[in-house]
Amino acid sequence: MIIKKNHYLFFGFIITALVLSIAIIGFFWTPNNPNAIDSSNRFASPSTKYPLGTDNFGRCILSRVVEGIGATVLVAVFTLIIGFGVGLIIGTLTGYYGGWVDELLMRSGDVVMAFPSILLALVFISITGTGRYNVIIALGVLFIPSFARVVRGEFVRIRELDFVHSAKIMGAGPLRIMLVHILPNAIPVLLRFLAIGFNNAVLAEASMSYLGLGVQPPDSSLGRLLSDSQPFLFTAPWYALSAGVAIVLLILGFSLISEGIVLPRSE
């Protein structure tokens, strides 16, 4: 059984479903135009029209938070698609076959992981330019070594188990062994690491946007909202609080889900 029914999983799914539902809704509808400027309503307190108040340009903070959640989730998802997709291929091949290719790719990954990921992302973006898509590519590439290492470790562990040796004796080919016998048994660990990777991607995107290198104005993301709200932390605390709570809930939901995933016993 991959997933254990417990309170971690229950509350994790509830929180994650709520935040992701808001993100999906934000792609199609927001309470107000998130980019509409109304100078007469600058720093308006939370009200019926503006449930989370307005910012320094009179824009609806709730609408910008809803849009920002969607932008941040989009970056995190595509970062995982790149990082996990390529890392799964590399980890599968190196973990099953080993040899000099394994040594070359893993040592190359060690070099990349030896540097702070944010620093490498900054170098990449300084070369390619700012923007959402450049952040996705930069973070996706930087996530490859960590995913590849986890996949490789699971394949190395599982390939030595008795049922894999039995499959080889019965004539199963390498592709069948990798996809039918090893990969399904690695899913619990990979699911937990995906949840952790999603949280790391959210934090990385928020950091990049906070520094002004991610989503560019007038579009919003959670990191961009935190950056824009910093000068007004004491005059309009609801501005920063709304974006901060959204990040906390997004990360908390996936953290609880990862805690509810049962890892396989060591044999």
Q: What is the mean pLDDT of residues 144-170?
A: 87
Give the dihedral sign, CA 48/51/52/56: negative
The rounded distance, in Å, linking the Cα atoms of 63 and 204 is 23
What's residue 3's pLDDT? 46
Q: What is the largest CA-CA distance in the chain?
A: 77
3-state helix, strand, coil in the chain (%, to 5): 75, 0, 25
Q: What is the pLDDT of residue 4?
A: 47
pLDDT value at 180 more than 50: yes
Higher pLDDT, 40 or 252: 252
State pLDDT tens for residues 187-231.
Answer: 888 988 898 999 999 988 888 888 888 778 778 888 888 888 888
What whole-number percentage of the chain has pLDDT above 90? 13
Lowest mean pLDDT among 7-11, 17-21, 123-127, 202-206: 123-127
Tokens at 16, concatenated: 């994650």
Average pLDDT over residues 17-24: 89
Q: How confident is the model at residue 1 (pLDDT cuts 50, 70, 90)?
A: very low
What letter represents residue 157's amino acid? R
Residue 261, strand partner residues: 3
Q: In this predicted structure, which of 59-73, 98-112, 239-253 has the lowest mean pLDDT? A: 98-112
Pairwise CA distance, residues 19 & 107, whole Å? 38
| Least confident segment among 161-170, 199-208, 212-221, 244-253 | 212-221
List, in order, residues 6 or more apart from 1 with CB less than 8 Å away.
262
Whether residue 266 is predicted with pLDDT greater than 60 in this model: the reply is no
* Four-point Cα dihedral 57, 132, 112, 157, nearest 10: 110
Q: What is the pTM assigned to this prediction? A: 0.85
Decide: 114 and 174 in contact? Cβ < 8 Å: no
